[in-house]
Structures are given as structure tokens and as C-alpha cells.
């Protein structure tokens, strides 16, 4: 077997039922149980992806709504994040409900791990005519945002490439950009993380 020069550890984190396990299976060729209801993953699943001379250990973290754990799955998620301070975090968002996933995403960002976002279920978003301004979201968060569809295999290579561009988020800068200090093309309104649909995270 060929020796690998470097191993990256990637934690896949997100709300329940956003397609983390389906993405995990796509990336690793594994066969983790996938279902269309939340809470399927309550334990840790690990898999490996090898590309060129690099090896990526991918950890499918149980879905959580918050890092203030309220059940066994969230306790596992908190423990894994705390136990991997050097891991790259892939925050998985449901592209049809981006705002909902940002609460956990921002909590994860406060941990300071290098991070990027997989905007999963982008195919479902298109079908529902939900349009996500990926460029503006990326600019506000200051980390790579990659549209993906685990079902169709869309964006998988872009995800692997994004590992190398992952950034430790700057929460203060995100807050400043979210409240209007983001450059948008002329005539377009800045996207607000606080939610143009209403709702102020506290």
C-alpha cells in the first residue's frame, strides 16, 4: 500500500436530517445507515477518503441542534468536537433551510476549528425554487461554502478541495458583515444572518 504524506481529520457536523450520513457515504464509499428522519446517527462513524497522496479521516458526528447538549446524541457531538481541536469541521447545512442550521453553525464556529460549509440538498432547494446566494453567504461567514447534493454526487470534489481552504472563523467579523458591512453587487441587498425572514438568535 502506498504511504500517505498527510492525514486530515474532518468532523461532519450539522442539524439532524440534513444529509450528513449520505454525504459521508458518498465521500468514503461506506454504508452508514441513512434515513429520511432525524436521529439516525447516535454514535460515531468513521471512514477514510484517499485522494492523490493525501488521506482524509472523516467522522460523521451525530446531528445536533445545539452544543449545549440535551440528549445523548448531542453529548457525543460536543465530546467529539472538544476532543479534536485540530480537526477541520465540515458544517453541513440543509440548502432548503439555511437559516435554521446557522444557529449550530455559529456555535461550532465559536470553537475556532478551521471550518467550511457544505450546502447540502442543493438539488432539493432547486426543485423547491429556493435560491441561496452562495457567494454572499461565503463572504459573510468568511469560510468556503460548497453547494452539494449527496444524492446526486454533486460537489464532492469541491468539498475535498475546500478542506484545504478551511478557515478558523472570526465571529466578530462575521457579526459585522452580517449587519451590513458586506459588499454586494450593485442593486443587491446584503444577506442577513439574523434572518430576513425574522428571528433574532440570542
Partner 1 sequence: MQKRLSELEFSESGTVRDIFASRHELNCLGVRVRKHLTMITRQPIKGPVVVAVDDMEVAMGLETARCVIVEVDRP
Which residues would be at the binding site for partner 1 (CB under 8 A)?
A: 65-66, 68, 70, 97, 99-100, 103-104, 195, 197-202
Q: Which three cell numbers stand for residue 176?
A: 459585522
| C-alpha closest to that of 114 among 1, 3, 6, 13 | 13
Q: Could you give the CA distance from residue 18 to residue 95 in angstroms, rounded to a whole number?
A: 9
Q: How far is the CB of 4 from partner 1 (least distance, A)?
A: 38
Q: How far is the CB of 70 from partner 1 (least distance, A)?
A: 7
Nearer to partner 1, 58 or 178 (CB): 178
| SS3 sequence of 103-115 | HHHHHHHCCCCCE
The 3-state DSSP class for residue 175 equals helix
Q: How far is the CB of 199 from partner 1 (least distance, A)?
A: 4
Q: How far is the CB of 96 from partner 1 (least distance, A)?
A: 8
**Burial degree of 148 (CB within 10 A; 0-12, 13-18, 19+):** buried
Q: How far is the CB of 54 from partner 1 (least distance, A)?
A: 35
Nearer to partner 1, 32 or 67 (CB): 67
Q: Which three cell numbers stand for residue 70?
A: 440535551
Cα 25 off chain centre by: 15
Amino acid at each position: 500500500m502506498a504511504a500517505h504524506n498527510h492525514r486530515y481529520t474532518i468532523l461532519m457536523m450539522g442539524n439532524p436530517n440534513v444529509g450528513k450520513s449520505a454525504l459521508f457515504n458518498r465521500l468514503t464509499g461506506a454504508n452508514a445507515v441513512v434515513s429520511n428522519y432525524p436521529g439516525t446517527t447516535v454514535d460515531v462513524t468513521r471512514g477514510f477518503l484517499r485522494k492523490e497522496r493525501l488521506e482524509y479521516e472523516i467522522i460523521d458526528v451525530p446531528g445536533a441542534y445545539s452544543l449545549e447538549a440535551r440528549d445523548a446524541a448531542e453529548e457525543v457531538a460536543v465530546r467529539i468536537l472538544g476532543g479534536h481541536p485540530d480537526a477541520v469541521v465540515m458544517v453541513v447545512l440543509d440548502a432548503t433551510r439555511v437559516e435554521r442550521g446557522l444557529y449550530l453553525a455559529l456555535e461550532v464556529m465559536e470553537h475556532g476549528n478551521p471550518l467550511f460549509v457544505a450546502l447540502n440538498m442543493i438539488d432539493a432547494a432547486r426543485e423547491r425554487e429556493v435560491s441561496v446566494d452562495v457567494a454572499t453567504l461565503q463572504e459573510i461567514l468568511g469560510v468556503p461554502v460548497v453547494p452539494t447534493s449527496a444524492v446526486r454526487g454533486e460537489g464532492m470534489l469541491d468539498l475535498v478541495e475546500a478542506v484545504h481552504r478551511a478557515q478558523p472563523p472570526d465571529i466578530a467579523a462575521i457579526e459585522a458583515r452580517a449587519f451590513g458591512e458586506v459588499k454586494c453587487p450593485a442593486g443587491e441587498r446584503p444577506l442577513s444572518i439574523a434572518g430576513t425572514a425574522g428571528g433574532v438568535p440570542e
